[in-house]
Chain A
Amino acid sequence: MIYADNAATTRMSEAAVDAMADCIRTAWGNPSSLYAFGQEAKEKLEEARETVAGIVGAASPREILFTSGGSEADNQALISAALLGAKKGKKHIISTAFEHHAVLHTLNKLQSEGWEVTLLDVHENGIVLPEEVEAAIREDTCLVSVMYANNEIGTIQPIAQIGAVCRKHGVLFHTDAVQAVGHLPINVQEESIDLLSASGHKFHGPKGVGFLYVRAGIRLTNLIEGGAQEQGRRAGTENLPAVAGMAAALKERAAHMAEEQRKVAALRDRVIDGLSRIPHSALNGDRDRRLPGNVSFCFEGIEGESLLLLLDQKGICASSGSACTSGSLDPSHVLLAIGRVHDVAHGSLRLSLNEENTPEEADQMIQGVTETVDYLRSFSPVWRDLQSGKSQFIL
């Protein structure tokens, strides 16, 4: 199997598995229990918290809240900031057109409950402009939420600059950094980030766990009421094995980040170059400001789901932004947001590599995709019309 869908999920590292297994086998007490056995678990929990806090550059471990994943962190961050704003009579929120659904759907919900939401243009290159964020800020803006790096097209946003703009205007700044944590060097203080969401299984940690960084002084609203865990901000006995696994994975990533970035970017560039040779194809999003492992392409005249199924037959795991894979009639909102028309957006492919992929695999991906696109084009009425001149090529 050639696994090229690391943006969807990653294999757990051995260190993460060991950390989890250790907690399951030995430190399985309830961290809230008074006796020594419970306190041992508590210590492991706080060690993990310290590790995570240090890696993202938080001022204190108390600024890290463990959650069930990125979606929960997004929900809690947005709802908390929205409610804080409402208390001051500020109910305007700024975000972007290509956020993950965990952000967009939460914003939709807030909108239906009285908040006003402005979604910024992400332009053809998939990058938000800090000037446009500033221009959109009003007297009643309480929150700006811009994802660190887009999950579909991989483009990296000018987070530090946006953070500075928000600081200047006294507006809370949240970033959904689910695709960036563990892959890019993030520093919440240097980048003026107030709230940050992360997910363990995107960086070789376990699924079902994540964290929310909250700058000290920001009052969160609970999504889950109950016991006093996580400083009263999220009730429920902590999933220590998963938290420990996530911390171990993150620690490993931080230790090897620069070298992994280099290695993966080289593979990515190899694949991009190879796929660019396919006629009437295009890379989605900025060529340079993108995640080290993200390759996102559109191929004219073919459809994404059939491309994925055929790649699966060749043992290649990938994903697409086509409508068929999203279960709705519209292709990915991300591709539409960067200006791809429906016809072209349906023929999309995302390969997301990591340090476990090899140059040989990269070449197999190129060959597999090239052959498959050729095959699908051979019986596509859309391709036939383009070739005959009946319709115009877009790419």
Chain B
Amino acid sequence: MALYSEKVMDHFLHPRNVGVIEDADAVGEVGNAKCGDIMKMYLKIENDIVKDVKFETFGCGSAIASSSMATEMIKGKPLSEVEKLTNKAVTEALDGLPAHKIHCSVLAEEAIKSALEDYRSRRKDT
């Protein structure tokens, strides 16, 4: 049995939605180089729906796969649904992660939450 599921390897080798959005409506960045994982998510939001999403990640196979999967799961979805995304859902979508890598899926969830926080605070300012 390999270290990672086929789904994880697929998202690691062929990550979806890689990149940046220059005029993003929301940006979320979590993690720190000290612990070895950093995820940055850029969201384009229109009518409270995630029109586009891009990510950049510094981290292991699980981290890259988790962030890639997370972007797929929120693209085209209404914010009300995106808010409810959990690391559990990301992990399940990936057909599971090794126990010591679950924190990578948590980081993906946090990256999205961080982006939503950014969106909310920007709207408060306008």
Binding site for B on A (CB under 8 A): 301-306, 309-310, 313, 322-324, 327, 329, 331, 342-343, 346, 378-384
Contact = CB atoms under 8 A, between A and B. Distances in A.
A306 B62 CA distance: 9
A309 B36 contact: no
Given A303-B36, A329-B35, A343-B33, 9 more contacts: A304-B60, A306-B59, A310-B13, A342-B34, A343-B34, A346-B33, A381-B39, A381-B40, A384-B20
Contact of B36 (A301, A346, A380, A384): A346
A329 B12 CA distance: 21
B100 interface: yes
A324 B60 CA distance: 7
A382 B35 contact: no
A378 B60 CA distance: 15
Contacts of A323: 35-36
A381 B36 contact: no
B38 to A, nearest CB: 6
Interface residues of B, number: 26
Contacts of A304: 60
Nearest to A309: B61
B61 A382 contact: no
A142 B81 CA distance: 65
Contact of B59 (A310, A324, A327, A384): A324
Q: Kindly list the 6 A-B residue pairs having the minimum CB-CB distance in the complex, ordered from nearest.
A: A305-B60, A343-B33, A324-B60, A381-B40, A381-B56, A382-B58
B36 A383 contact: no
Interface in B33-69: 33-40, 55-64
B60 A322 contact: yes
A86 B62 CA distance: 48
Nearest to A320: B60
Nearest to B29: A381
A343 B38 CA distance: 11
Given A301-B58, A309-B61, A342 B33 contact: yes
Nearest to B15: A379
